[in-house]
Structure 1
């Protein structure tokens, strides 16, 4: 009846429009299955691209839906070229050498491309690209706006459009993406590491589907919601908790400088590594320094920044800094000591319109609330999953 998908040929992919056509005809999966004399499970598997139909089944489906087989299933070139807006800072060199690898996402009808190198020094070698930037001349052809580029895809476009772009600083979002792939074959997460404020700004610019933030209100101690109420229209967004984590000072093994609080960071023999302006960790450092009567200018290394919690931990482990503000799980990843300062909620912010236009987002939030995912991040250490998946009242 159906045949299992084999490894795709590098030159072409099957573009599957069965669900689109079935829905347009007003048929449920069960109704189509009954009329085509196949099982509902077969229809579900074909629509999810887990299986390819045989010629006989494809003909039956086309007959029931009063269309052609070619309209339901067609080969699509993997070398298709699309236009995308290049974001995430510096434009890669497009002259000599290999063409830059990029990840591609589609948000609100617009394609965005980011260099894979933006994932970081480790993930850039473990996450496959979605395509490659065309040459400088091809990318600029017909466009005065240099932010637009031509991308030659290395995957089929339909699969790319299922991806969910998440901006934020929790590295566990990549685990969420892996659990999501186990539940839904065609859906994955593209995580872009950036501080809370930058993530929220990327969301407002329409460059990502979801922004992850951890910003504690100094006066109330409440996580995220006071900040979001000041800057967002509450009726247009949903806020879902990813987890509650421990934030504090990451220090070297054995804590040789005997750092106990942020007051120790102003000592002459202590050097810190900071996060970029707008990051939740930097905000916490500033809050605690101010409460202790100090300014950032009194801290050696305050102006030097790292790009993520893991980057902070790595620089401390290499002896390039004595301490940095971060999360417990990052400290544990590098066998560092951790001085807890507070527990804070890490929330995901998503425009409500995306929940209807990108149905895979519901699968992501279902994954977050699932027992397998919650058990795994709880086992990492430093995470409390009691409220994971909970909708917060913005």
Structure 2
């Protein structure tokens, strides 16, 4: 057999994906293939061409220069699965809070619901995916320091000409993660610049990073004076864990993650609004009606109450249409 002719199993090993995914790529016409009798074959040059096309849409090394190799691999694998779901027309929800896991579970059980895919990205990336048609819902928590408002100013600027509906999910506390007992006595934003304080940041574009940068801007704190400002983690738990391991003295994140990591104390700094953005053109579709019904239901709120640490006084309320 020609050495440049590959079986689907060999293609799967080269691309490091499941064999069924190879068949799906062939079915969608993304990977050229042909039959030899009853067997499917793929030319090596077509596999190499597919890899080159993929590299054009993958993140560059510079984008992830502060992340570990494992973080980069996990993010690339996750993005590949989300891209596949998008191509298949699946419902994709952007956001990182565990309450979205609960929402997707309720959606699967709802008579007019559907299976939804979670895309674990920050608020900016979620809004961008929504604008580009790569997701159908985005959960965000973006604070505008000039107006002291959450989310609405960003939605109007990042989805121009796109009518949207914003639905309140929950109120959450953002604050500092410090070691038990707060040995460095970190209480204010300005404390981050003190000599000897090591900080661990979140990635650009997430709501937590926006909150930090807005507070630093308003208080005229020079971020270049913060030791560790350029060092990033991809989640609240990642930040809390770095502080617990002694790799940093302080990080910023929500209260829930602090309760999940031993040896971490939480210093509350700001109440935030966590909200879901949907395009108005989608609201008449059954799965979106089901989403709003779920968010307004007592069953959903009761499950969130069981987790604790959420303000549910406005959960399910439509707070803006633009």
Query: 1:382, CA displacement in angstroms?
Result: 2.6
1:346 lines up with 2:274 in the alignment: yes
Number of positions where the alignment pairs a residue of Structure 1 with one of Structure 2: 268
In structure 2, the partner of 1:178 is 105
Q: Is the 8 A contact 2:127 2:155 kept in 1?
A: no
In structure 2, the partner of 1:247 is 174
Within 5 Å, which residues of 2 pair with 1:181-192?
181-184=108-111, 187-192=114-119
Query: 1:180, CA displacement in angstroms?
Result: 2.3
Q: Distance in 2 between matches of 1:310 and 1:338?
A: 13
In structure 2, the partner of 1:355 is 283
Q: Distance in 2 between matches of 1:350 and 1:111?
A: 31
Q: Is the 8 A contact 2:242 2:248 kept in 1?
A: yes
Q: Is the 8 A contact 1:214 1:344 kept in 2?
A: yes
Query: 1:256, CA displacement in angstroms?
Result: 2.3
Q: Distance in 2 between matches of 1:285 and 1:260?
A: 14
Q: Is the 8 A contact 2:178 2:243 kept in 1?
A: yes
Q: Distance in 1 between matches of 2:253 and 2:281?
A: 33
Query: 1:235, CA displacement in angstroms?
Result: 5.9
Query: 1:96, CA displacement in angstroms?
Result: 4.3
1:262 lines up with 2:189 in the alignment: yes
Query: 1:345, CA displacement in angstroms?
Result: 1.0
Q: Is the 8 A contact 2:112 2:286 kept in 1?
A: no
Q: Is the 8 A contact 1:200 1:211 kept in 2?
A: yes
TM-score (norm 1): 0.59
Q: Distance in 1 between matches of 2:300 and 2:210?
A: 29
In structure 2, the partner of 1:328 is 255
In structure 2, the partner of 1:287 is 214
Q: Is the 8 A contact 1:168 1:213 kept in 2?
A: yes
Query: 1:101, CA displacement in angstroms?
Result: 9.3
Q: 1:97 to 1:142 in 2, by over 3 A?
A: closer
Within 5 Å, which residues of 2 pair with 1:188-203?
188-203=115-130
Q: Distance in 2 between matches of 1:247 and 1:227?
A: 19
In structure 2, the partner of 1:60 is none
Q: Distance in 2 between matches of 1:185 and 1:224?
A: 28
The structure with the larger Rg is 1
In structure 2, the partner of 1:99 is 17
Query: 1:278, CA displacement in angstroms?
Result: 1.7
Q: Distance in 1 between matches of 2:254 and 2:43?
A: 41
Q: Is the 8 A contact 2:107 2:113 kept in 1?
A: no
Within 5 Å, which residues of 2 pair with 1:10-89?
none
User: What whole-Å deviation, never above 9, does each CA across 1:99-144 have from its counterpart, x for those lacking one?
Assistant: 25999xxxxxx999xxxxxxxxxxxxxxxxxxxxx99766567898
In structure 1, the partner of 2:137 is 210
In structure 1, the partner of 2:64 is none
Q: Distance in 1 between matches of 2:98 and 2:318?
A: 21
Q: 1:99 to 1:162 in 2, by over 3 A?
A: closer
* Runs of at least 5 residues in structure 2 that lack an aligned partner in the other structure: 1-7, 22-27, 31-41, 58-83
Q: Distance in 2 between matches of 1:111 and 1:389?
A: 41
In structure 2, the partner of 1:221 is 148
Q: Distance in 2 between matches of 1:243 and 1:194?
A: 18
Q: Distance in 2 between matches of 1:288 and 1:226?
A: 17
Let me know the Cα RMSD of the aligned residues: 3.6
Q: Distance in 2 between matches of 1:328 and 1:380?
A: 12
Q: 1:229 to 1:98 in 2, by over 3 A?
A: closer
Q: Is the 8 A contact 1:286 1:295 kept in 2?
A: no
* Runs of at least 5 residues in structure 1 that lack an aligned partner in the other structure: 1-80, 82-92, 104-109, 113-133, 149-156
**More helix by percentage:** 2
Query: 1:194, CA displacement in angstroms?
Result: 1.4
